[in-house]
Amino acid sequence: MPLSHLRSWSSSDFGPSAEVFGKNGVLEEQKFPRFKKRETQVYVGNLPLDISEEEIRCLLKDFNPLHVHKIQNGCKCFAFVDVGSMQKVALAIQELNGKLFRKRKLYVNSNRSPKRTLDVTEWTQELLGLEKTSGQGFARTTACTQLVPKASVDPCKTEKPRTSIFAVPMEMRGSFLALLLRECFRDLGWLATIHSVGGDVGLLVTSIVPQTPFFWAMHVTETLHQNMQALFRALAEAEEQQPYLHDSAVRRGTRCLAEYQLGDYGWAWNRCWVLDRVDSWAVVTFIDFGQSATIPVQSLRSLDSDDFWTIPPLAQPFMLEKDIWSSCQVIHRILKGKITGALNLELHILKFEEFK
């Protein structure tokens, strides 16, 4: 399927993205600027919430840090530290990765390090360690209010609506996304920026979690259209040139290319990440759609060049403010509504209320 069919998604109702379209609603050709690489930055994760930038400087004093950028996202804290050279980056990783600091195990890595082989034991321990600092992983909503008749009074009378509590899906939690971003994009900056969306928005729904308020969607903006165009064009051009992965190369953490069904538009090759493998099957997550699938190992193509991973994920997690999903018919539709806030302890998950 030609990826250009995605142009039939209409966003003419939304001011911020209207300028993207040329005559007859066709997307104008625009070159996407590459993200600047930060070879001299080191990532320091699992930091205490109350740590100051000065204390982070002190922690890396042996490497003469030039600049410290601390990021706190809910109950997670990490920092990017510019140490001036790639040699110092390597030394900092060797010296500090895995070191205990205030009873916390530090995760230190390069912001643009070569892809490393992921050990299953290390993966599990790292994910559990991050999860302990990511909060309780629950969301409250009045979406699933239950009206229960009182036993000894008029049956027409009802109790007050009760607030339902939903566990945040693992693939939406900050701990999981931080691991995905480090392995795929070598950059956690996306987590710190996606919660800045606010006001009236248009959301292109890509995936839902049935019977819960959670879903994945693309925020319809001019930047989104530019990113979609640049990414899908690059994947379409590279599709035939990318070799199929050797059986031994498919394991947890592998960046690859697989076919994804875009609703009525058919199938197209898209970026994905291997979550697990069972015999001849791979469980992958499609980075740009928030969707997981089980795919035959022999159908995966290589996509390990960083050139394909400079554009951040197209979709991000949201939750409905006052409802739950009961139908999948909303997928691949654009919803109009407003952002009403962010989920406590998982600030990257925004609350959305649809206009009726």
Average pLDDT of the residues in 27-40: 43
Distance (Å, whole) CA 304 – CA 254: 8
Helices (H) and strands (E) in the chain, counts: 7, 18
Q: Residue 315 corresponds to which amino acid?
A: A
pLDDT tens, position by position, 138-197: 555 544 333 333 344 454 454 455 556 788 888 898 888 888 888 898 877 887 788 778
- 285 phi and psi angles, rounded to 5 deg: -115, 130
pLDDT tens, position by position, 283-312: 999 999 998 888 889 889 999 899 999 999
**DSSP SS3 for 346:** strand
**DSSP SS3 for 275:** strand
Full DSSP string of 296-324: EGGGPEE---GGGGSSPPS-EEEEESS--
pLDDT of residue 33: 33
Distance (Å, whole) CA 224 – CA 230: 10
Cα angle for residues 207, 258, 261 (degrees, 5° grid) = 40
Domains delineated in the chain: 41-110 (3.30.70.330), 170-354 (2.30.30.140)
DSSP H helical ranges for the chain: 15-18, 53-59, 86-96, 120-132, 174-184, 189-193, 222-238
pLDDT tens, position by position, 57-82: 999 999 999 988 887 655 677 888 88
